Structure 1
Amino acid sequence: MIGIDLAKRVFQLHGACANGTVIFRKKLTRIQLLAFMSKQPECTVAMEACATAHSWGREFEKLGHTVRLIAPNYVKPFVKRQKNDVADAEAIVEAASRPTMRFVELKSEAQQARAMLFRTRQMFVGQRTQTINALRGHLAEHGIVAPQGAIQVKRLADAVEDENIGLPAGVRELAKVYLVQIEDLSAKIAALDRQMKGAAKEAEAARRAQTMPGVGPITALAIETFAPDLNCFRRGRDFAAWLGLVPKQTSTGGKPRLGKTSKMGQRDIRRLLISGAMAVLQAVKRFGKPHNDWLISMLERKPRMLVAVALANKMARGLWAMVTKQEDYRNPAAMS
């Protein structure tokens, strides 16, 4: 097994036998690394799941090696005393050799391209929100106030264009600069939304996921992009736990103690599922269409946000069943 501590220019390698005996310790540059690995017999290559890990992993797989990626927080306990590149590479090998270690699935180029699409949209949404808040704050100093949200920007734009409102000329010109920036970001976000919806239509698993209430194209594509192969989970509960949609445990002495939502795992999918669950609850409130008896009884007894998280948990378990069994959504209430 070879453990590699990744970096931008210089990489630290640690080679060991199955029994843990050290074979070599090497420091290589980017150019030397691929040439060195091409001369090694097929073996297990372990790395932390950090920046560039998936790219290097694909290159090593082309050479016939078996790649194992480990979350950095699982490697840290194996670092002995001082932290340095040599100790990190050895710790990676120690962690990867554990039979119960959990590994990160290697992402394909297509998955990383879709992930870039998500992150770009997320960045633009954040920039638009920041720009809107800045404009609202500046105009509030001149007596122009509007509610929060991107949908209220038109009210601010109308106020800026209204000559009857005594805005200073400099403020009016700068406000128009903000409005142009907001309009440009909104157009970019809309274009990315169209691209994401198109990608969601092409993927069969994403199309199937959208048959579930509360799951739209963005949520479906997020599962296709960020989640590993759902067949690696033994059951739907494991997938929901991986997403962090379960209570945090602090059990001891045989006494189970459950707390708030653990919030572990992939945050984008978790956030989107909870948002979808909130949309289902809103539909129940507005249109009076009960999802099922369980949902109605939960709304009568529990806080709204708690019910949304519980529903998101059930949605995650249902999505696992739909993908692994290759079936569209079936309403449990209609089947009973």
Structure 2
Amino acid sequence: MSEVSTIGVDLAKNVFQLHGVDAEGRPVLRRQLRRSQMLEVFQNLPVCLVGMESCASAHYWARELTKLGHEVRLMQPSYVKGYVKRGKTDKADAEAICEAVTRPSMRFVPVKSADRQALLMTHKAREFLVRQQTQTVNAIRAHLGEFGIIVAKGIQNADRLIAACDRADLPAPTRRALNLLADQLIDTQRKIAQLTADIHADAKANDAAQRLQTIPGIGPITASALVAALPDVSDFRSGRDLSAWIGLTPKPHSTGGKERLGRISKMGNRYLRRLLYLGAIAQVSARRRGEPGEDWLWKIAERKKPKQAAIALANRMARTAYALLKNGTQYQAARPA
């Protein structure tokens, strides 16, 4: 029997499927594993190339298998799909992964360290609580509206919302329900503040995050998220490649030699894209309220709608972030001619 050289692993919660081939591409291993058997089996295998889809627990298994001496490569599931021959089975998926990982044109996902995943989890937990805060505020406002009590929209009016609950003459069951929602809102805001403080502390201690914060529109949260989520910037050929990786470049629809550029692709990291957009829309809004000028932002704000101008600025911010991270420099505003 030939020695296995490449293995495709189809990950799941409890049952994993392996497909291995030798140096000539002949199948030599087809096996189904339980989670508890994973490390034991790979300890007894010769050092080989292991391919996995970048999905839940993939980074953990990549780190563990790397410790055993294997070379692990992660791939986007959408890139692997084209190698599935027929049907949707674990065996077919593992075979497709084994084939895709050997392709020279395949793009791989860098394996995240445990520390980087921990920081990203802080960001994700904060984002989840912010959504929960918005849901709670909307619920309280809607319930008060049923009793003729109207409070202005916006999270900045959350205190007015709670005060309106306290002052309102409401039936006892309604007051009890609204008090529970108000307590939940206060508790959620406290948790958000704790996580925000943790992110600010990390951004303050990180040199790259400090340099990113010199870019207008990028604060501690966005800077920390960029440092935690971005792979090594040397993997990108240019700032445009980084912007495309985040999903801020136009999606092409070209045929017959005619090039057509549509809306932004919205591929890649949605969280980073949203943070950059929020920082950009704040910059655009502030600039539109200012004095007319000849700077780039004023010109594009005059030509485009606010949201379109914000997308263009977010694209520019991503490219600037690439330059700062690659060169180890700080942002310097363009001097007027």
TM-score range, shorter chain: over 0.9
- The aligned residue for residue 167 of structure 1 is 170
The amino acid of 2:260's aligned partner reads: R
Question: Contact (CA 8 Å) 2:285, 2:306: kept in 1 or not?
Answer: no
Deviations for 1:260-285, whole angstroms, at most 9, x for unmatched residues?
Answer: 11111111111111111111112213
- The aligned residue for residue 312 of structure 2 is 310
Shift of 1:319: 0.5
Q: Distance in 1 between matches of 2:292 and 2:66?
A: 51
Please list, as runs of the form range in 1=range in 2, the aligned pairs for 1:130-145 lying within 5 A after superposition: 130-145=135-150
Deviations for 1:40-97, whole angstroms, at most 9, x for unmatched residues?
Answer: 2221110011111100000011011111001111111111112111111100011111
Deviations for 1:232-287, whole angstroms, at most 9, x for unmatched residues?
Answer: 10111110111111111110111101111111111111111111111111221334
Among 247, 256, 277, the alignment partner of 1:274 is: 277
Deviations for 1:266-310, whole angstroms, at most 9, x for unmatched residues?
Answer: 1111111111111111221334386x6222211121111111111
Deviations for 1:216-236, whole angstroms, at most 9, x for unmatched residues?
Answer: 011001111111111110111
- The aligned residue for residue 286 of structure 1 is 289
The amino acid of 2:221's aligned partner reads: I
| Residue-pair matches, total | 332
Gapped regions of structure 1 (runs ≥ 5): none
Shift of 1:326: 0.3
Among 112, 121, 125, the alignment partner of 1:107 is: 112
- The aligned residue for residue 237 of structure 1 is 240
Q: Distance in 2 between matches of 1:250 and 1:287?
A: 37
Please list, as runs of the form range in 1=range in 2, the aligned pairs for 1:83-232 lying within 5 A after superposition: 83-162=88-167, 165-232=168-235
Look up the SS of the partner of 1:54 in the other structure: helix
TM-score under structure 2 normalisation? 0.95
Residue 16 in structure 1 maps to residue 18 in structure 2: no
Question: Contact (CA 8 Å) 1:46, 1:70: kept in 2 or not?
Answer: yes
Residue 53 in structure 1 maps to residue 55 in structure 2: no
Q: Distance in 2 between matches of 1:175 and 1:202?
A: 41
Shift of 1:31: 2.5
Q: Which segment is superposed worse, 70-79 or 165-174?
A: 165-174
The amino acid of 2:274's aligned partner reads: R
Q: Which segment is superposed worse, 45-54 or 31-40?
A: 31-40
Q: Distance in 2 between matches of 1:311 and 1:72?
A: 30
Aligned identity (percent) is 48
Among 328, 332, 335, the alignment partner of 2:334 is: 332
Q: Distance in 1 between matches of 2:250 and 2:8?
A: 34
Q: Distance in 2 between matches of 1:218 and 1:325?
A: 22
Shift of 1:157: 2.1
The amino acid of 2:225's aligned partner reads: A
Gapped regions of structure 2 (runs ≥ 5): 1-5
Query: After TM superposition, where is structure 1 displaced by more than 4 Å over at least 4 residues in a row?
Result: none
TM-score under structure 1 normalisation? 0.95
The amino acid of 1:226's aligned partner reads: A
Q: Distance in 1 between matches of 2:37 and 2:146?
A: 60
